[in-house]
A and B are shown apart, each in its own frame.
With several copies, the nearest count.
Chain A
Amino acid sequence: MIKLENVSKSYKGGTNTAALQNANIDIGKGEFVFLVGPSGSGKSTFIRLLNKEEDPSDGRIFVAGKDIGQLSSWKVPYLRRNIGCIFQDFKLLEKRTVAENVAFALEVIGRPRSVITKQVPAILELVGLADKVDSFPTQLSGGEQQRVSIARAFVNRPLILLADEPTGNLDPTTSVGIMRLLDRINRTGTTVVMATHDRGIVDTMRRRVVELDKGTIVRDQAQGVYE
């Protein structure tokens, strides 16, 4: 599903050392991968490369069998329709209700209204927010907001779900709920790549762990632990 070949990334005007160095990895369909490593080790960079938010300085990246380096810029949106993204800060639109936030993701890719009215309630049911459809983000707890953002990322049934520290803003109990939800989504066959530094989660879940340090992959362990 995801394959990196000798990928390096250095930011212009950034540090001298590369944010990602010579990364090689192969992630199969339906896998669940934790990216761990200290701050600045390149976890977010890794995720942004998959999404083509950034382009690698060197090397090639394949997503769903396609070399995304070859993708012309107008095709990038179509790549992104296959990739859902979740962030620490939710990135919800405050002026829109829960249902509208989720519907927005379908509207802006031109899905017909009939599809929207069917899929939005279904996905909100899945993430357990069926009773909050008309609430605004500020009226929700952090855990509920993150569920909305997962619903938005998943409503289009992407092949891959990328999560950059999705529990960074949440307390331990709420985090567990979010992880259960991601696990459920993963079981439907969706590949999940999640950057985190929550030791408890990694150690409990026991999934594949890729550890980065100063941009280098220093560990790639099936059913691993935080360190």
Chain B
Amino acid sequence: MALKISYMLKETGTNLVRRISLTIAAILTISISLALFGSSLLARDGVANATQRWEGGIEFVVWMNPEADADQDAAIRRSIEESPAVASSTYVSQEEAFEEFREMFADSPELIEAVEASDLPPSYRVVPTDPDADVVVELGSQFRNQPGVRDVVFASEAIKDIQLQANRISNGLLWVSIALLIASALLILNTIVVAIGARRQEIEVMKLVGASNWFIRLPFMLEGLVHGLIGAGFAVLAMWGVRNWVIDGFSRSQSLALLEGLKVNNAELINRSLWVLAIGVAVGIVGSAFAVSTKLDV
């Protein structure tokens, strides 16, 4: 039995080395496809994290006149807080607004320099209970003509647009990586078919002398497994690189402040890495099992 295992490993190694160019092609393709696949998952996580702070959040903003007096302010505050259609609301003072302005537009220091806290109006950020656009607009409009209110702005459009772009990118990545995964499975299948072809003579002899079916099959399936595993290993490395340099790089970036929330934490990264490893192994096994079952009629 010990002999069998060492035989299997030796055979698998020989197979991998004997067709080195096909081995490299298979591993390259599977690692790139899985790296893209994993990165697209990470990008989706990142975008989800980044947009979470808006999602179900500010649905409209009531901008006050900086000159509004305390009575007007109190009246607005009361009507917002007492409205049954309002789920929650936050008051953003001029100083807070300026702070936020500075954060959001850190890429335009000249603008930050040009604006002062007193230039920015205080505001109420209101979350309606009913997220339906018509209801939100109806509710928001009630405040528009009240005294002390400068304007009511509906913020959801802008956020939806950001999410749309982000989803477009990560969906694109997903499709590309699925196509590459198919290519990888085909490649592994072919690597095994070629390996079987190259060892036809040996297999013929093995069948003749009565080697059991699994004894003949296993080295080939192990070969596919190794392709999948090594490819997935490289892909996981690439994913850590993407997280540490690309995604973190964006979120540290001074200029693309909108991407500031783009973060992928370690738990998410480990979760996605395990997914990628599992898919790599699955692709390797499925590709080789298919090749073995069709080409080795043992």
Instruction: Tell whether any CB of A sits under 8 Å from a CB of B in the complex.
Output: yes
Interface hits, A69-114 → B, CB 8 Å: 73-74, 77-83, 85, 91, 93, 104-105, 107-113
What is the distance, in angstroms, from B44's C-beta to the closest C-beta of chain A? 45
The closest CB in chain B to the CB of A80 belongs to B210
Of B151-159, B211-219, B258-266, the one with at least 4 CB within 8 A of chain A = B211-219
B1, B7, B207, B213: the one contacting A74 at CB < 8 Å is: B213
| Contacting pair A107 B210 (CB below 8 A) | no
Known: A74-B212, A91-B208, A153-B209. 4 other contacts (CB 8 A): A51-B208, A80-B208, A85-B208, A107-B3
Number of interface residues of A (CB under 8 A): 25
Query: CA separation between A74 and B216, bound complex, in Å?
Result: 12
- Let me know if A3 is at the binding interface, CB within 8 A: no
A73 touches B205 (CB 8 A): no
Q: Which residues from chain B contact A80 at a C-beta distance below 8 Å?
A: 207-210
A43 contacts the other chain (CB 8 A) = no
| Residues on the A chain within 8 Å of B1, using CB | 110
B-chain residues with CB within 8 Å of residue A79 when the two chains form the complex: 210
Q: How far is the CA of A45 from the CA of B85 in the complex (A)?
A: 87
Residue B206 at the chain A interface, CB threshold 8 Å: yes
Quote the shortest CB–CB distance from A184 to chain B (angstroms). Answer: 21
Given A110-B3, A112-B3, A113-B3, A152 contacting B215 (CB threshold 8 A):
no
Rounded to whole angstroms, the CA-CA distance of A156 and B211 in the bound complex is 12
- B55 CB → nearest A CB, Å: 56
Q: Contact between B204 and A108 (Cβ–Cβ < 8 Å)?
A: no
Shortest CB distance A104–B (Å): 7
**What residues make up the interface of B, taking CB atoms closer than 8 Å to A?**
1, 3-4, 7, 201-202, 204-213, 215-216, 298
Contact between B213 and A77, CB atoms less than 8 A apart: yes
Contact A91 B213 (CB under 8 A): no
What residues on A are CB-neighbors of B204 within 8 Å? Answer: 91
Closest to B297 in A: A73
A-B contact pairs, 11 of them (CB 8 A): A51-B208, A73-B298, A93-B201, A107-B7, A108-B209, A109-B209, A109-B215, A110-B1, A112-B3, A152-B209, A153-B209
- Say whether B212 contacts A77, CB under 8 Å: yes
A171 to B36, CA, bound (A): 64
Interface residues of A (CB under 8 A from B): 51, 73-74, 77-83, 85, 91, 93, 104-105, 107-113, 152-153, 156
Residue of A nearest to B1 (CB): A110
Report the minimum CB–CB distance from B42 to chain A (whole Å): 45
By the criterion CB–CB under 8 Å, are A91 and B201 in contact? yes
Question: Are A109's CB and B3's CB within 8 A?
Answer: no
Task: Kindly state the separation between the CA atoms of A152 and B210 in the bound complex, as whole angstroms.
Answer: 12
Instruction: Name the residue in A80, A82, A153 with the highest tally of chain B Cβ atoms < 10 Å from its Cβ.
Output: A80
Q: Which residues of A contact B216 (CB under 8 A)?
A: 108
Question: Could you tell me if B213 and A110 are in contact, using CB atoms closer than 8 angstroms?
Answer: no
State the Cβ distance, B218 to closest chain A Cβ, in Å: 11
Contacts of A83 in B (CB 8 A): 210
Which residue of the partner chain, among A93, A109, A112, A152, contacts B211 with CB atoms under 8 Å?
Answer: A109
Is there an interface contact between A156 and B202, defined as CB atoms closer than 8 Å? no
Residues of B within 8 A of A105 (CB): 205, 209
- Tell me, in angstroms, the Cα distance from A52 to B13 when the chains sit together: 31
**CB-defined contacts of B209 to chain A, threshold 8 Å:** 80-81, 104-105, 108-109, 152-153, 156
Task: Give min CB distance, A109 to chain B, whole Å.
Answer: 6
CB distance from A75 to the nearest CB of B (A): 9
| CA distance in complex: A93, B204 (Å) | 10
